[in-house]
Amino acid sequence: MRNAVIVHGKPSRERYENPNEPKPHVANWFPWIGKQLSDRGVEAVVPPMPKPYFPVYGDWRQAFEQYPVTAETALVGHSAGAEFILRWLSGHPDATVDRVVLVAPYKDYAHKYGEFSDYELDAELIQRAGKISILYSTDDDEPIVRRANELNETLSGARLIELSGYGHFRIGHNMQDEQLPPLLAELQTH
């Protein structure tokens, strides 16, 4: 793994527009994991996604594709960022990556965000993504737990990692600080 592209999730509009709250790409565990990877010689980037409170796939794709994705890239997605990565990889059958880590994977079951989750998941992603790991916390919301288990059933060869006490992997949603050692461990193992 030479580089990592980390895609943040979807905050509420209220949180995003609150000047007292950090923007999603610099909140929670993103700066911590970026530093951990950088200290190990891996170039890590967390691109700020446009209008993250109302994700539009085409807009997010344009922001994401400004960064190189190769066979030596790790892709990490949190919540809606995980859904974005799955859709992007499913729509790019020639893309290969070193690994994919999905943290609290989200799906827009209610279609509140238009076509964001409207795609056919490539069930053979494991063949193009050396390793797929799915991290979720048992104290997250039911749709996230459901999505994690669905992905584990659909993506043959994926590794499901059940944690507790992390909530939705956001500080203030059960997570106590910015460190996420289980994610670092998944990025370091083969």
18 touches 27 (CB < 8 A): no
Per-residue confidence in pLDDT tens, the chain, 190 aa: 999 999 999 999 999 999 999 999 999 999 999 999 999 999 999 999 999 999 999 999 999 999 999 999 999 999 999 999 999 999 999 999 999 999 999 999 999 999 999 999 999 999 999 999 999 999 999 999 999 999 999 998 999 999 999 999 999 888 889 999 999 999 998 7
Closest by CA to 151, choosing from 188, 117, 115, is 117
Closest by CA to 137, choosing from 103, 109, 87, 181, is 103
Q: Which domain CATH number covers 106?
A: 3.40.50.1820
Number of separate domains in the chain: 1
Look up the pTM and report it: 0.97
Spatial separation of the C-alpha atoms in residues 112 and 114, rounded to whole Å? 6
Domain of residue 107: give its range. Answer: 3-188
Q: Tokens 């799906």 belong to which residue?
A: 107
Spatial separation of the C-alpha atoms in residues 16 and 103, rounded to whole Å? 20
